Every structure is written in structure tokens, then in C-alpha cells.
Amino acid sequence: MTDLLSLAQLHDTGLSGHEIRRRIRAGELQRIHPGYFAASAAVRRLRPEEQALLRHRALSRAASVPPVFCLASAALVLGLDLRRVPARLHTLSRPGQGTHNGYAGVVRHQERLPETDIVTMDGLRATTGDRTLLYCARLLPFTDAVVLADQALRFGLTRTRLEERLTEWAGRRGVRRAQRVLDAMDVRSESVGETLTRLMLAESGLPAPELQWVIVGRTGTYRADFAWPEHRLVLEFDGESTYDGAPATVIRNERRREVEIQEAGWTVIRVGWHDVVRLPAMTVDRIEAALRRSAATR
């Protein structure tokens, strides 16, 4: 974990205010939150999610009462995969109570908050899994919320359980939106990319695919992200880092997997982030063309 140092700790190391400002200007030191700093080189090595968590840790340390994170901030603290890293930090407190004032980039929400809806993860307080998913379903953009709802099994949650809890907010803002999110969730999606692909297909008008379809190959069984069995067509989502730095054995196994799927008579289409997020219409056309070709040869 990247060291987070307070202004007092920097002074204790012998750094004067002038030297601290010089190092910030020189790009050697980065201000994470008012009064809290980290070495710039160490911050640059962090993934965007880790950089965001560092900001959450700094806010928690700066506050006289550690805040309870909610919405996308809570999802980040709970270790969920997000469609996008939150640019702002979101905290939740009971009406009439607060944990901070005047911090730029921090959004303070107020709502009744039972202690049973608060958990602590690696020293950070956040709303529980069910509360987080439902709060996000109520208030986040639809696609972002479905991405999170698809991960409900991480907390042992089902759609039924979430719908039961949703009744607690009857008549409140976003409940209808949340129900739409729960209607669209599918815990069989195993990554953000698979969720985005599934939602793209749902809007396309194409026949609905089977998810995690099992195909028996020459040396083993494989699960396809999406499949149209009657057309012997498989659609696989490849993340940006699928092969980045992967061991040679991983790459060989993936190639063997695709060869064996094709040997079993299936056509394989691969898509990535750019195809799904930037070129959805073109991607849908590719899939539709493959379905037509299959239908013509049946």
C-alpha cells in the first residue's frame, strides 16, 4: 500500500513548509487530500481504482469522525468492479449529522442509516453490500448500476433478497429505477465487460443468447460467455488486459480452448471494450451477419 503521510508526519521527517511546496511543484510529492500527501512516483504506479481508494483513505484519516462511504465510493471500498472509477467521493450520514465540511470533490448524502447497514473494510467504513447495491440502483446511471448488481453473489445476495430490501424505500426517490436495474441484473455475468456486452445485446433486438454455455471439447469442457446454440455461434468478451503480461501457458491454453470450440463446429466472435463501448452498432452488425450466415446453412 502506498504510504499516506500527514503534514505533521512530513514535518517530523525534517521537511519545512517551503520544501514540501517545492517537492509538490517539482512533481515529487502529490497532495491527495488537504493535509495528506504521497510520493508521486508511488501514486503513478497505482491503478485508477487504487488511486481512488487512496483519496478515500485520506478523507477518512482527515475527518474527526470517520465517514461512511456510499454509492460508488462504497462499491470501491467493498472491492466491487466498477464501470468507471468515481471522480468524487460519496459519504452518507444520518440527517443532522456530518463527518466533513467544505472538501472539494466530496459529496455528502444524508439518509437514515442503521448501524447494521455499516461495515468496515480495511479500516474504511462503508454501507453494506445490499445497501450499496440498492443505493447505486436507485441513484447511479442504469448501466453503472447493473454492472454492480450483477456482482450480488459476492455478498451472497439474490435478486429476490434485494427486492425484499427495496421495499424499505417504498415511495422514495429512485425506487422504480432500482426495480428496473434488478429486472436487468444477471449474476452469470462474470466481468464488467460481460455485463456491458449483455446490455448491448439486450438493446439490439437480436435473439437472446445463453450465458456461460458449456461446450464439450476434445480435451475438456469450456464455458462460452455468450452462445446461440441453434446457430453454433459463440461470442467472447476479451478485456484489455486479457493477454497483457500473461504467462505463455495461459495464452496457449486460451488458443487451445478456441481451437477446440471451433473443432466442435462453433463459430467464435471476439469483442473488446472498443467494440462494445465505442462501436456497438458495428459490433451488433457483425453478430447479426454471423447469425444470418448460420441460418442460411442450416
Residues 17 and 58 in one domain: no
Asked whether residue 242 carries a pLDDT value surpassing 80, the answer given is no
Do 61 and 170 lie in one domain? The reply is: yes
Q: Where residue 247 falls among pLDDT bands split at 50, 70, 90? A: low
The answer on 53 and 31 residing in a single domain is no
Which residues form the domain of 132?
Answer: 48-184
- The answer on 198 and 159 residing in a single domain is no
pLDDT of 169 strictly over 60: yes
Instruction: Tell me: do 84 and 173 sit in the same domain.
Output: yes
Pairing of strands 221-228, 233-237: antiparallel
pLDDT higher than 60, residue 73: yes
Give the chain's domain count. 3
DSSP assigned state of 217: -
Query: Which domain-ending residue is among 156, 184, 212?
Result: 184
Residues 6+ apart with CB under 8 A from 102: none
Torsion sign (Cα): 250, 256, 260, 266 = positive
Q: Give the residue from 138, 161, 184 where a domain finishes.
A: 184
Residues 72 and 172 in one domain: yes
Q: Is the pLDDT of residue 244 over 60?
A: no
Q: What is the mean pLDDT of the chain?
A: 92
Helix (H, G, I), strand (E, B) or coil at 213: strand
CA distance 23 to 44: 16
Residues 170 and 114 in one domain: yes
Least confident of 94-103, 164-173, 186-195, 262-271: 94-103
Q: Are residues 20 and 55 in the same domain?
A: no
Judgement on whether residues 152 and 218 belong to the same structural domain of the protein = no
Q: What is the CA radius of gyration of the chain?
A: 23
Does 139 lie in the same domain as 62? yes
Residues 228 and 170 grouped into a single domain: no
Model confidence at 97, pLDDT cuts 50, 70, 90, reads low
CATH at 238 = 3.40.960.10
State whether 109 and 145 are in the same domain.
yes
Last residue of one domain, picked from the residues 159, 184, 209: 184
Question: What pLDDT shows up at residue 243?
Answer: 47
- Report residue 3 as a C-alpha cell: 504510504
Percent of the chain with pLDDT over 70: 94
